[in-house]
Chains A and B, each alone.
Chain A
């Protein structure tokens, strides 16, 4: 029960924290509801990207639950099937593996209209294992759907050029 409460709280905290993320996020104004919508999509997309790309053996399960909380029903079903197994966590621990990411930029696609949105999130990522480490920038694409007043992630992948820099 305690864990169930903890996860939504964590998501809310991340959402609040992500409010200031993204130099490309358009400034919001009460008189421009459409940009508000995009702003919400950008925040959700940024939070999702951070949740998906910040992981250690210790927080992997929590991050997975947060991803589920931010996902649309169809994606949620896929994520449930991809639950990190005990063996996954052991492998992460044995590898001393961790991934950390920072949002460098988040840009909404203005051609998408409600209830859909597409946000390109650029992350600076650092992946560390016992033997290696890699720092790179990835350009990610997050598709979202506006559902009952909240944005939910429907698709998460590398952006169209498909390359990590």
Chain B
């Protein structure tokens, strides 16, 4: 009986000894998760309800899921001649506008509130309003709307026909989506009209700049690429394969691009190899023409879009673009190269192609 008990107690102890380290690791992981949850809760508590929820249905990231960064909103609030805090609630007759640009839609360069569009189709929730009723820089809840989006829209544009109780929804999805909405009534309010709608955060927990703007358009959307004067050497244009790829990059980045250096480039790279530029298969996108700060801002988004167009998953594309470096990707029989934030590539993003490759994954290098 005593033998049996001792055997039984021996069996009971050794599994515990084995499990103890695993339990300790599990406890540490749970502790970290609880701490992270606490931090998130703290961010949310500043604004009362759900703060800057960018994961809800239709949320585009940025401030309160609008797809617009804090700095862009601050730019409208500081720079628009129609900026203020006025929101006249009630019924409005709403239409929609957006790309493809041209004609009645305008050139799509920028909104009158100062948001840069550059002929592209950035995905954000923005409306044109009559500033006498709704001031620029305000976040307005409009329901119903063409996106079934319960969060706010940034008032940041005006229009010749948008007078009085009229609103024009910016719809980046194109003409069919715009015709689908047609003209309908919508109710404007300063406060959410749907339960659980995202609200603007009042704390600094929100990410800004590159990270908050971290939603790329789906591959397949094409954007506009403008070739700057003198970008190419006389009589040597860039090749159509490159332009086709760059249009996809512009679509994914959600903004028109200005190619500042095409074939008008030195013959050899810093490592002594023949440059993709002289073959008409590389383009540089300068920070001034494309309006991004040195080593950051839209430059990172553009690099991420280049990697995304080369088939790199979105999260990985953002990680690589943020980390910086030269990245070679083999995609559809092309070696695609994106260089950003390494060597002399802080003031421009380089995107180059070369036919033929035989490697898998992404090869990263530093200059």
Contact = CB atoms under 8 A, between A and B. Distances in A.
Contact of B180 (A81, A125, A162): A125
A157 B164 contact: no
15 contacts: A55-B182, A75-B93, A78-B165, A87-B103, A90-B104, A91-B105, A94-B103, A97-B179, A99-B179, A99-B182, A127-B180, A133-B176, A155-B91, A157-B144, A162-B148
B104 A85 contact: yes
Nearest to A159: B144
A82 interface: yes
Interface string B155-195: 00000010111100000001110011011111000000000
Given A79-B93, A162-B148, 8 more contacts: A52-B182, A81-B161, A87-B103, A132-B174, A133-B176, A156-B185, A157-B185, A163-B148
A158 B103 contact: no
B177 to A, nearest CB: 8
Interface string B304-341: 00000000000000000000000000000000000000
Contacts of A24: none
A12 B237 CA distance: 62
A136 interface: yes
B144 A134 contact: no
* Interface majority SS (helix, strand, loop, mixed), chain A: mixed
A97 B172 CA distance: 18
A127 B181 CA distance: 11
Interface residues of B, number: 25
Given A155-B91, A157-B186, A97 B175 contact: yes
Contact of A162 (B91, B95, B103, B145): B145
B161 A85 contact: yes
B93 A82 contact: yes
Given A158-B144, A162-B144, A81 B103 contact: no
Give me the 9 closest cross-chain CB pairs, A-B, nearest first.
Answer: A162-B144, A87-B104, A157-B185, A157-B184, A158-B144, A78-B93, A132-B176, A163-B148, A162-B148
Interface residues of A, number: 35
A131 B317 CA distance: 31
A52 to B, nearest CB: 7
A59 interface: no
A91 B96 CA distance: 14
Contacts of B165: 78
Contacts of B175: 95, 97, 129, 132
Interface of B: 91, 93, 95, 103-105, 143-145, 148, 161, 163-166, 174-176, 179-180, 182-186
Contacts of A161: 148
Contacts, number: 70
B164 A81 contact: yes
Contacts of B148: 161-163
A91 B103 contact: yes
A134 B180 contact: yes
B180 A136 contact: yes
A107 interface: no
Specify which of A85, A134, A158 lies most central, judged by the most chain B CB atoms within 10 Å of its CB.
Answer: A158
A161 B194 CA distance: 10
Contacts of A109: none
A95 B183 CA distance: 18
Nearest to B91: A155
Contacts of B163: 81
Contacts of B183: 52, 82
A156 B179 contact: no
A164 interface: yes
A109 to B, nearest CB: 16
Contacts of A94: 103
B185 A155 contact: yes
B180 A164 contact: yes
A38 interface: no
A16 B165 CA distance: 33
A23 B186 CA distance: 28
B59 to A, nearest CB: 16
A129 B176 contact: yes
A65 interface: no
